[in-house]
């Protein structure tokens, strides 16, 4: 079986599994309005993945990472992130609460989701950078980290805007700060930490498998164009424009 056919089948399998997960968790969510608001992310991501799979099919690793994150997100959407009963699940299995064992006081499922955002989505972002922008070396690790951090920041701003717009219980449920004034900062920090771990792990694997790894890093930092690109370049373009 060709690689492209394996990827296509894997995409269809994950798509079918996610549809089952989505349908199951769409039944009687704790807060239907919050569930609908949380699924705005899914309504954006899923069509992008479907429409891009022919021209830019991602690797099975990337599709799997995205699938896991979306499943975590759907769990958070079903219960609302602040009320996911992971402590009850853990207690049923072990007889003890996870929060009690770790000395935690608040519900930390949202922290897990933000950390997972960095761990799981920075690799697909890296794949897009390598295959579309043709970045190499250091930039193939830094730019995915940077975009993951920027996306995390944008999502926090989106949450803030939605909370201001809808207000009331829906705004509180969607924002999910649980009284922590530094909630957004901690969420962004965890997404950054997750992305750093993912990129370091990716770099370690590449360093082991890629013979020209060090040369590739060095080449990516070499200055390719000595002339500055500020006012001199603008003046040059203006001169060329006048000649047309």
DSSP for 168-180 reads HHHHHHHH--TT-
Q: What is the largest CA-CA distance in the chain?
A: 80
**Residue pLDDT, tens place only, 152-204:** 999 888 888 877 777 776 766 666 667 777 888 899 999 999 999 999 999 99
**Residue pLDDT, tens place only, 2-17:** 668 899 999 999 999 9
What confidence category does residue 104 fall into, taking pLDDT thresholds of 50, 70 and 90? Answer: confident
- Pairwise pLDDT comparison (126 vs 235), residue with the higher score: 126
Res 2: pLDDT: 64
Cα–Cα dist 123/116, whole Å:
12
Q: Which residues contact 69 (CB under 8 A, 6 or more apart)?
A: 113, 116, 117, 120, 121
Q: Which of 14, 103, 16 shows the shortest CA–CA distance to 66?
A: 14
Average pLDDT over residues 36-64: 93
Q: Output the average pLDDT for the chain.
A: 90
What confidence category does residue 240 fall into, taking pLDDT thresholds of 50, 70 and 90? Answer: confident
Query: Buried b vs exposed e over 26-37: b needs ≥16 C-beta within 10 Å?
Result: eeebebeebbeb
What confidence category does residue 230 fall into, taking pLDDT thresholds of 50, 70 and 90? Answer: confident
Is residue 1 pLDDT above 60, yes or no?
A: no
Indicate the burial class of 197 (C-beta count within 10 angstroms; 0-12, 13-18, 19 or more).
middle
Q: To the nearest whole percent, how much of the chain has pLDDT over 70?
A: 95
CA distances from 37 to 20, 56, 158, 174, 206 (A): 20, 28, 11, 8, 39
- Please tell me the pTM assigned to this model: 0.90
């Amino acid at each position: 079986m060709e690689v492209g056919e394996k990827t296509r089948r894997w995409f269809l399998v994950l798509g079918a599994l996610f549809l089952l997960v989505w349908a199951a968790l769409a039944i009687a969510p704790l807060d239907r309005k919050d569930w609908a608001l949380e699924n705005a992310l899914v309504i954006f991501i899923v069509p992008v993945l479907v429409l891009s799979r022919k021209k830019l099919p991602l690797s099975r690793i990337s599709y799997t990472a995205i699938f896991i994150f979306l499943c975590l997100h759907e769990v958070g959407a079903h219960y609302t992130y602040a009320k996911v009963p992971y402590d009850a699940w853990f207690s049923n299995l072990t007889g003890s609460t996870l929060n009690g064992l770790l000395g935690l006081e608040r519900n930390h499922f949202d922290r897990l989701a933000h950390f997972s955002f960095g761990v799981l989505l920075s690799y697909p972002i890296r794949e897009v950078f390598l295959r579309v922008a043709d970045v190499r070396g250091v930039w193939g690790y830094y730019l995915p980290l940077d975009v993951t951090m920027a996306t995390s920041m944008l999502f926090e701003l989106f949450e803030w805007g939605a909370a201001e717009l809808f207000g009331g219980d829906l705004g509180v449920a969607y924002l999910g700060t649980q009284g922590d004034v530094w909630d957004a900062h901690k969420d962004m920090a965890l997404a950054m930490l997750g992305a750093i771990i993912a990129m370091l792990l990716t770099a370690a694997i590449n360093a082991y498998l890629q013979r020209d790894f060090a040369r590739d890093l060095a080449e990516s930092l070499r200055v390719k164009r000595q002339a500055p690109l500020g006012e001199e370049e603008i003046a040059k373009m203006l001169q060329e424009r006048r000649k047309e």
